[in-house]
Amino acid sequence: MNLGFAAIAASLAALCGLLSVLSVRGLLRFRQSGSRAQLMWGGGLTLAAAAMGVELAVYLGFVSSPILQAYVFFSAGIVGILSLGATKILRSPKVERAYTTYILATSGLVAAACCLTPLPSSMVSGGIITGNPPLSLILLSSLVTFPATAVLLAATVLSLRRSWRWQTMLMAAGAVILGAGGTLYIASFPIALYYAEFLGILLLFLGLISLPQSSPTHAATPTGSNLG
């Protein structure tokens, strides 16, 4: 094992660990506050940690159809679940319920399609998932990623119009970058997802650890207290 290979593997493991910590933190905040947004935020980060774990496993040479199937689903599910934590800012319970139903239904459809569609090891090149899934999975995944990215962008704009705290801006930027990464993967730019995960995770981490701890209203999701 050469030094470069070991360094990349170690960095992927570190990012997976960081995502896991952030997801646990979000779920613990949900337990404390009961905020639906925190639950979705923690759930989205859990999928992101799982996706990073798959990237590490593939880089180490553990490649199989089930692993690749899981990765395609995680790539779509990350942005979909994260976007559910941003719907409260729209301030419309009907829209929130309808969008939640839509994302859960389409995510379930993508999960089923991934399970039923074998994926070849040729999707992996040099330890990196660079190949494209079948067109059917691309189209189904876009039913999740495109609307979810649009919701994250809209929620970010609306939230920043109401609150310009720098912590909120960091977390909003991180959420949007993660969402864009999932969309770029589905749009045949898979390597962009790796970079987007790294930058998005970093921004989310900085935003989370910098949030004031004295007020529960500040312990919010990517778009601040407007989402809690």
Q: What is the pLDDT of residues 90-106, one digit of tens each?
A: 777 888 889 999 999 99
| Cα distances (angstroms) measured from residue 130 to each of 118, 125, 211 | 16, 6, 36
For residue 181, the one-letter residue type is: G
List domains and CATH numbers for the chain: 3-227 (1.20.1070)
Q: Which helix (H) or strand (E) holds 219?
A: none
- If one compares 62 and 178, the residue with the highest pLDDT of the two is 62
Examine the pLDDT at 55 and tell me if it is beyond 80.
yes
Residues 6+ apart with CB under 8 A from 193: 75, 181, 182, 184, 185
Q: Which amino acid would we find at residue 74?
A: F
Tell me the per-residue pLDDT of 105-162, one tens digit each, with 9 for 90 and over: 999 999 999 999 999 888 887 777 876 788 888 889 999 988 987 887 777 677 667 6
Q: Residue 71 CB: number of other CB atoms within 10 A? A: 25
Q: CA 41, 47, 53: angle at the middle one, nearest 5?
A: 135
Q: Which helix (H) or strand (E) holds 129?
A: strand 128-129
Q: How confident is the model at residue 181 (pLDDT cuts 50, 70, 90)?
A: low
pLDDT number for residue 109: 95
